[in-house]
Amino acid sequence: MTDTSFRTLGVPTALVEALAAEGKTSAFPIQVDTLPDTLAGRDVLGRGKTGSGKTLAFSIPMVARLGGELAGGTRRSGRILGLVLAPTRELATQINAVLEPLAAAYGLKTTTIFGGVNQSRQVQALNSGVDIVVACPGRLEDLMKQGYAKLDAVEITVIDEADHMADLGFLPVVTRILDKTPTGGQRLLFSATLDNGVDKLVKRFLQNPVMHSVDEAHSPVAAMTHHVFLASGTDAKKDLVKMLASGTGRRILFMRTKHQAKKLARQLTDEGIPSVDLHGNLSQPQRDRNLAAFSAGTARVLVATDVAARGVHVDDVELVIHVDPPAEHKAYLHRSGRTARAGAEGSVVTIVLPEQQRDVKDLLRKAAISVSPIAVTATSAEVTELVGEVAEYVKPVPRVEPQRGGGKSQGANAQRKRAARDGQGRDGQRREGQGGRGQSGRGGQGQPRTERQGRPAAAGGARTDRPARPHTERTHASDRPAGSGNARTAGRRASQSGSKLTVGSVVRPNGGNRRGGR
């Protein structure tokens, strides 16, 4: 059996020990293939699917080469030695989390640069001297124009997720940034594909690059199991979504629009399933807070748009659910890649309504995924087996079939109406200061509507009064995925404060259809 230990691949002892401290002793295929060339200083083009281990593949040689040459030398203000370009803030943050402990082994300093937050911290870090910068292109170019960042000393440049950069229209900015780096520096480019102009980037900036590609058969992503569940209609889909979200493990639910992601996360939390959302309408502090809650496990469900399709790496995501099937196959693959990462197993479920079958069939064919749709309900064996143990905090939602002729169901309804008129809750206890509809509103939850406008990022098991969500910050247009601009949120309908799970078309409170972006 081939020895794939980092020491055998030529990684310096200081980094081998730093990796071992995090439980990383053996390299993944893309690391095995690229490390001999990257450690030797050659330009490398790495092609690998999401979750294949690309971040370590470029982090190790960057720190090894800069650390070996610097060995704690004097840093110069604003002079960057290593540069990593990433398309999203989440990806930049997670790359830095991988780089930082490795850099610490040599006394190197790292920092992140991205939009959506005040630039003062980033400027301070550059002025104090930093060795490695992980940056989104838009904010970095802004700081370069202001004179805070200079790239004339950069020795190693990495372009990560280059195909995603192209999809978001970042290539012109990336080209201008790379033009400011020394031509003799080492350049590493990692991408799943070479289309949409990525090939032009390779030809212009990489010198005699060595190409390494890890195919799906040997990639950790191969441990992914795909399912297509056919729901008979929107009501059946609602029940199915709740059942799939109710397990004890981490799961990510993908929606088409920002508004629907926010709405579904709130409704699942109301149903006893602590959930957080991630989409373009959130400020950077809100994104960080929600991701931290998901990573820590205080919220087991992340409801997201395609903003989270790349760059979000949380260990042990056991299930990815395409509540709204994506528009094209690349998005399907990147969404699905949030599970089955780093050699772990995972499952992917696509929920399909009858009218979506043809489009989903074409999408899966282009993604080279072979799976047959199965007609299911929320209680089907295929679903319950996938969900496993249902979390204890999930509220049961008994279904009461309507009866004719004044049966038990009508009697129960009459009793609830009488209790409402008397200012009582369903438990028969009078609610202080509430009579009839009073503060409870149409949702019948016994809370003023002003207390139901947001939900805490770290959603706990039991629902509490929730403070209003703060107004979202404006983010720099070039540092966020297309269509993720801030949307002005009008007042919600009182009916949206109820706990009924709703998935489907969204209606603005002032009438008219709302179309959300990512």
CATH number at residue 122: 3.40.50.300
pLDDT on residue 287: 85
Could you write out the DSSP letters of every residue in 189-222? Answer: EEES--TTTHHHHHHHH-SSPEEEE--GGGSGGG
pLDDT on residue 399: 43
pLDDT on residue 510: 44
Does 122 lie in the same domain as 27?
yes
Is 243 a member of any domain? yes
Does 209 lie in the same domain as 185?
yes
User: Do 498 and 443 form a contact (C-beta atoms < 8 A)?
Assistant: yes
Does 276 lie in the same domain as 252?
yes
Of 473, 456, 476, nearest to 464 (Cα)? 456
CB neighbourhood size of 81 (10 A): 22
pLDDT on residue 14: 92
Q: Residue 247: left if φ>0, alpha if ψ -120 to 50, beta else—which one?
A: beta
Is 440 a member of any domain? no
Does 244 lie in the same domain as 133?
no
Does 252 lie in the same domain as 199?
no
Q: What are phi and psi of 332, to 5 degrees?
A: -60, -45
| Burial of 231 per CB tally in 10 Å (0-12, 13-18, 19+) | buried
pLDDT on residue 277: 93
Does 257 lie in the same domain as 170?
no
Q: What would the two tokens of residue 40 be?
A: 């030797």
Could you read off the pLDDT tens digit of each residue along the chain, which spans 518 residues? 567 889 999 999 999 999 999 888 888 888 999 999 999 999 999 886 666 688 999 999 999 999 875 444 455 666 899 999 999 888 899 899 999 999 999 999 999 999 988 999 999 999 999 999 999 999 999 999 999 999 999 999 999 989 888 888 899 999 999 999 999 899 999 887 777 788 889 999 999 999 987 654 334 444 678 999 999 999 999 999 999 999 888 899 999 999 999 999 999 999 889 999 998 888 878 888 998 899 888 899 999 988 776 666 677 788 899 999 998 887 888 788 777 655 566 789 999 999 999 999 999 988 888 888 999 999 898 898 888 766 555 655 444 343 444 444 444 444 444 444 444 444 444 443 444 444 434 444 444 333 334 444 444 444 444 444 443 333 444 454 444 444 434 444 333 434 334 333 333 344 444 444 44
Does 457 lie in the same domain as 368?
yes
pLDDT on residue 344: 61
Beta bridge pairs of residue 229: 351, 374
Is 330 a member of any domain? yes
One-letter identity of residue 59: S
Does 161 lie in the same domain as 240?
no
**Among residues 183, 218, 253, which one ends one of the domains?**
218
**Residues contacting residue 33 through CB under 8 Å, at least 6 positions apart:** 46, 212, 214
Cα-based angle 177, 181, 186 (whole degrees, multiple of 5): 115
Total H helices, total E strands in the chain: 16, 14
Of 480, 484, 476, 447, nearest to 464 (Cα)? 447
Q: What would the two tokens of residue 296 be?
A: 């820590």
pLDDT on residue 502: 38
Total domains in the chain come to 2
Is 77 a member of any domain? yes
One-letter identity of residue 165: M
Is 55 a member of any domain? yes
User: Do 294 and 314 form a contact (C-beta atoms < 8 A)?
Assistant: yes
**Among residues 187, 218, 249, which one ends one of the domains?**
218
Cα dihedral across residues 413, 414, 420, 426: positive or negative: negative
**Among residues 162, 184, 218, which one ends one of the domains?**
218
Of 308, 373, 295, nearest to 337 (Cα)? 308
Cα end-to-end span (Å), the chain: 45
Is 444 a member of any domain? no
The DSSP call for residue 156 is E
Does 326 lie in the same domain as 466?
yes
Is 168 a member of any domain? yes
Is 401 a member of any domain? no
User: What residue numbers bound the domain in which 35 lies?
Assistant: 13-218
Q: What would the two tokens of residue 243 be?
A: 């059942």
Does 270 lie in the same domain as 128?
no
Beta bridge pairs of residue 186: 156
**Where do the H-state alpha helices sit in 105-222?**
120-128, 137-145, 162-167, 171-179, 198-205
Buried-exposed string 410-423: b where 16+ CB fall within 10 A, e elsewhere:
eeeeeeeeebbeeb
Does 258 lie in the same domain as 111?
no
pLDDT on residue 366: 86
Cα dihedral across residues 366, 198, 279, 158: positive or negative: positive
User: Do 226 and 348 form a contact (C-beta atoms < 8 A)?
Assistant: yes
**Residues contacting residue 363 through CB under 8 Å, at least 6 positions apart:** 325, 326, 328, 329, 332
d(CA 333, CA 221): 10
Q: Largest Cα–Cα distance of the chain, in whole Å?
A: 87
pLDDT on residue 370: 86
User: Do 347 and 321 form a contact (C-beta atoms < 8 A)?
Assistant: no
Does 161 lie in the same domain as 247?
no
